[in-house]
Amino acid sequence: MSHTTIRIIFVGVVIIALSIVWMGGVFRPTGSAPDAPGASSSRTISRDDALEKVRTMPEVEEYIAMLKEAGAHGAFNVEDRGDEWAVQVYEIVQQGEDSHTATFNWYRIHKSTGAALKEFE
């Protein structure tokens, strides 16, 4: 291979690598892009905002509707975990005098970006 061919291949690989790195920082699967390091966000997702975001997710709406059709009731638990809200979607299962919870999923909502992540796939 000639030096010119090697240089062309090298430049092409560098351009592709830089494009991939750039795209990784811009495109996010869920929610907004995170704040730049050291930057402070002027908005904060409240507990109620996090709960509403989870409550209106299509999969959660379907789960709650399915429970209602079966005569059961869905419930939500919100926990403060520092930079995130953790929202548990579950039902209380009655078995005679005993009961236990059956978790559908946990969702983590980032307080400054509103990005949502499912704990279970």
| Angle, alpha carbons 41-55-69 (nearest 5°) | 175
Name the token pair of 98. 């005993």
Asked if 107 and 119 touch (Cβ cutoff 8 Å), the reply is yes
Residue 34 is predicted with a pLDDT of 47
For residue 86, pLDDT over 70 is answered with: yes
Q: How confident is the model at residue 30 (pLDDT cuts 50, 70, 90)?
A: very low
For residue 62, pLDDT over 80 is answered with: yes
Q: How many CB atoms lie within 10 A of CB 98?
A: 7
Return d(Cα 87, Cα 62) in angstroms, integer: 17
For residue 35, pLDDT over 50 is answered with: no
What dihedral do alpha carbons 72, 108, 44, 60 form, nearest 10°? -30
107 burial level (CB within 10 Å; 0-12, 13-18, 19+): buried
Residue 104 is predicted with a pLDDT of 97
Mean pLDDT value across the chain: 81
For residue 74, pLDDT over 80 is answered with: yes
pTM: 0.63
Query: 84 or 33, which is more confident?
Result: 84
- Beta strand 84-95 with 116-118: parallel, antiparallel or unpaired? unpaired
